Amino acid sequence: MWWVKLIVIVLLIAAVVSLGRALFSLVKGDGKSGKTMRALAWRVGFSAVIFLFILLSMMMGWIQPHDVNPTKRYGQPIEQSAPAQERSLLVVRRSGL
């Protein structure tokens, strides 16, 4: 669903903007006014909302997690080709040499 990706991207951009505001406030020297802490708190909040939204999306079936196992694709084993040395041994064994 395209709108789930859009929401996650918007929240990620908001977290990065908040982090930039905190950096700008820190460099500018407004540490006493609490702007840096407020901006960092917003960033942590955005990150937590992103995490919870992704979990909710998976539970509701809006998004599907995928395999990260390099030996499987879509849950099915991938046929792996044998290395060159093993292939030559297989040819020799089959020919009876």
Report the pLDDT value the prediction gives residue 53, as an integer from 0 to 100: 92
The pLDDT value recorded for residue 23 is 86
43 with 35: CB under 8 angstroms? Answer: no
Residues in the chain where the model's pLDDT stays below 50? none
Task: Please give the Cα distance from 79 to 43 (Å, whole number).
Answer: 44
Q: Residue 13: what pLDDT?
A: 92
Show the tokens assigned to 23: 């950096």
pTM over 0.85: no
Question: What's the pLDDT at 4?
Answer: 87
